[in-house]
Amino acid sequence: MSPSRLALLLLLAPAPALADAPLVVIDRTQLPFELGPGHPANSPARTANQPNAAANSSGNTANSPSAWENRPSNPANDGRLIFTADGEVRGYYAPSATGVLNVFNTAGRRIAYRPARGTSSLFSVQGTWCGTVDSTREGLVLAVTPECAALFGN
């Protein structure tokens, strides 16, 4: 399955009409190799993907939940909500100045990130492979493992 076919399937998944970033739970064994954690660019062991890499680090102020850009009270994040198929808001995403895409739950806890370059994979703040992100005309689609979806719990 090509990445573009995956994007089409993700777009066909049920999602609320106004969802900026639908959250789709996936079986990672069903992903094409180039999108899964077995691909070298998506490996959690790759230095640029690790949570202790400077750009990805929780200690980096650009990734901090206390930074204005990352707070749930920031009005810009109202347009970056993450929804489930049944319309439940589970969190929001906030791009950082360094290019990292940070993913927060509704309480403002950082639960995952996509490194700035080299991969479309999401990683938990503990460094495990969490899923993949795709950009569409409507916004982002987050395709995550069941374990990662559980991290959205407040």
Q: By C-alpha distance, which of 84, 141, 90, 89 is closest to 111?
A: 90
Count of all residues that appear for the chain in the document = 154
| Cβ–Cβ < 8 Å for 29, 38 | no
Strands of 19-88, DSSP E: 21-25, 81-83
Residue 42 confidence (pLDDT): 97
User: Which string of DSSP letters, residue by residue, matches 13-51?
Assistant: S---TT-SEEEEE--GGGS-GGGSTTSGGG-TTSGGGST
Written as tens digits, the pLDDT of the chain (154 aa) is: 444 444 444 444 443 333 489 999 999 898 999 999 999 999 999 999 999 999 999 999 999 999 999 999 999 999 899 999 898 999 999 999 889 999 999 999 999 999 999 999 999 999 999 999 998 777 789 999 999 999 998 6
pTM here is 0.85
Q: Which tokens is 78 given?
A: 């109202």
